[in-house]
């Protein structure tokens, strides 16, 4: 016969963690540097008063009359570091 108690008479403890709230603080990525003649697709990418946490994606865009020299996208990782953090967006003037 199976007993739901240990030998010392204490009930078994359930290991089901589905209903236990888990709290953690995600690390924030730093603001991205300004882009000369450009901007980011979302304000929170370069606004220090807004949060940039895990999963946030930022893409560089150029103002009218300028074009990106290279398409760059950054994603905030779980450690608070941008992917592609060595890449810098650059907008150059287009010839008319």
Give the pLDDT confidence of 72-91 residue by residue, as tens digits: 899 999 899 999 888 889 99
Q: Give whole-number Cα distances, 70 to 59, 78, 92, in Å.
A: 11, 26, 10
The pLDDT, as a whole number, for residue 15 is 54
Give the pLDDT confidence of 34-82 residue by residue, as tens digits: 999 999 988 878 888 888 888 899 999 999 999 999 888 999 998 999 9
Q: Would you give the end-to-end CA distance of the chain in angstroms? A: 87
What's the rounded mean pLDDT across residues 2-27?
56
CA-angle at 94, arms to 44 and 89, nearest 5°: 30
The pLDDT, as a whole number, for residue 95 is 64
For the chain, list the domains and their CATH numbers: 26-83 (2.10.70.10)
What's the rounded mean pLDDT across residues 20-47?
83
């Amino acid at each position: 016969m199976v007993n739901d108690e240990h030998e010392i008479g204490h009930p078994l403890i359930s290991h089901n963690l589905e209903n236990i709230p888990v709290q953690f603080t995600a690390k924030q990525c730093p603001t991205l540097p300004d882009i000369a003649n450009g901007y980011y697709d979302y304000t929170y990418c370069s606004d220090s008063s807004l949060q940039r946490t895990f999963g946030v994606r930022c893409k560089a865009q150029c103002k009218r009359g300028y074009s990106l020299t290279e398409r760059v996208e950054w994603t905030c990782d779980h450690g608070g570091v941008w992917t592609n953090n060595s890449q810098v967006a650059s907008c150059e003037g287009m010839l008319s």
